[in-house]
Chains A and B, each alone.
Chain A
Amino acid sequence: MAGTKKKGLWFRYLIAVAFLLVMIFPYIYMVLNSFADWDQVDRKLIPTHYTLKSYQWLLGGGEAVIPRPWIHAFFNSFIVSAGSTFLMMVTAVMVAYALAKIPFKGRNTINNIILFQMFFPAIILLIPTFLVIQKVGMYDSYWGMILPKALSLWAIFMYTNFFKAIPETFIEAAKLDGASNLQIMFKIVLPMSKSITTVIFLFLFMERWTELLWDMIVTKSDNMLTLNVLLSQMFGPYGGYPGPMYAASVLLTMPIILIFLAFAKKFQEGMQFTLK
Chain B
Amino acid sequence: MKLKENIAISDSGYLFNPSTGESFIVNPLGMEVLQFVKKGKSFEEISREILTRYNVDPITFEKDYQDFIHQLRQYLLIGSDE
Chains A and B come from one and the same complex = no
Tell me the B residues contacting A by CB distance below 8 Å: none
